[in-house]
Amino acid sequence: MYKVDFNAPCRVYFMGIGGISMSGLAEILLQADFTVSGSDIKESDITDTLKALGATIYIGQVAANITDDIDLVVYTAAISEDNEEFVTAKKKNIPMLTRAELLGQIMNNYKYGIAISGTHGKTTTTSMMSHVLLKADTDPTISIGGMLDVIGGNIRVGNSDYFVTEACEYTNSYHSFNPYISIILNVDEDHLDFFSGIDEIVESFKTFAHILPEDGLLVINGDMEHKERIVSELKCNIITFGLESDNMYSATDITFDEEGHPTYTLLVDGKKEEVISLHSTGIHNVVNSLSVIAVADFLKLDREAVKAGLNDCTSAKRRFEKKGVTENGVIVVDDYAHHPTEIKATLMAATNTPHQELWCVFQPHTYTRTYALLDDFAEALASCDHVILADIYAAREKDTGMVSSKDLEEKINQLGGNAQHIGDFLSIEKFLLKNCKKNDLLITMGAGNVDLIGDSILKK
């Protein structure tokens, strides 16, 4: 495998440079005096930012972009092997690394590489960890899979031993990482277009955990079913967290304010310590914050800085993000939830937010996920007062006719729910403007572009 030498910056080309993760890595290399170029299918605020930092950006991916002076090509799983740039780079024998392989090599430059993994909650927990590290004046480098206001984007290049990043299990990309500290928030059935089922997913997380050095740290949710299988034969330090009191880090006396923000008493080895107040909604974020506190204690960070960082963190964009209130008094929230477990957590958070009726506009994300978890999606959504279903967001897939949002509508209604498949965004918007009333809570939900509906309604 090609090794990046940060003492001898070279010319690096990113295929898909406008992606949220790829752009972050490109910015890190730009700050380290590498010559960076890359391509994407369209211009965006991200590509504009990279241009301003000195990157050369091509719109459109064609063979001519791959010039002979390029030393390294970086690509993502979204790039197909028949892509013109990919084919040309192979023909020219230019060294190539995946996005994850490059990130793993970047992590080697930091003493405290922190990788935050789990089927759900990675971005929010990375946000929490980022706020804490910033409050503790550690000057961290941060790479996050969302836009974080406190750093003005998805990347921050620091000048210290601290590096924090999300670690995604899809295609086992996190197996290329080199963390000193890892968090495993949860392990659930997902990405079934790649994994065969839960057993393979658990084994993937186990492999990820065993990357850690013996003096490193695994912080793992002690409440989850597969914890023992993951930690078996693990030689590094292990800390458990969760709501059950037998975890090393747990919580008691949990209450919520009028906006659904939790406050709790921290328990460490069963003993009451601090009162922690969060600015993120939902009891699931109590659990997420426990993992951050465990890491902070291992790093011997000041507890007051930890408390302040957690209280300041409002999460990244699209994580129970309050977008505004319409002229007729409808509260509009947007959330990235696209898995049944995430949907349940989001709807539970909504119960702690004052409202009249709850409306959920859900855009299923990928056909394989919707098909495999159809019953679970229906169960998660059935408790909502009103469910409006958009058409499935295909992402990287093609519609083979195996499942549709109409199937989900039928399943929800069979369980006694109130679901309606409307499909296109304009029709959904018109329906909501006619039917949502003052003090109703409207959540647009999904990993696609469903947030556009809420944005449009707020402009009316």
Active site residues: 122-123, 166
What is the sign, positive or negative, of the torsion defined by CA atoms of 80, 83, 85, 91? positive
Which amino acid is present at 173?
S
- Per the structure block, which two tokens stand in for 42? 């369209």
3-state DSSP call for residue 442? strand
Distance CA 310, CA 293 (A): 9
Residues sharing a CB contact under 8 Å with residue 84, sequence separation 6 or more, in sequence order: 61, 62, 63
- Per the structure block, which two tokens stand in for 348? 């539970």
Which amino acid is present at 459?
K
DSSP for 242-264, please give it: SSSTTSSEEEEEEEE-TTS-EEE
Residue 394 C-beta-side C-alpha neighbours within 13 Å: 7
3-state DSSP call for residue 139? coil
Residue 417 C-beta-side C-alpha neighbours within 13 Å: 27
Which amino acid is present at 28?
I
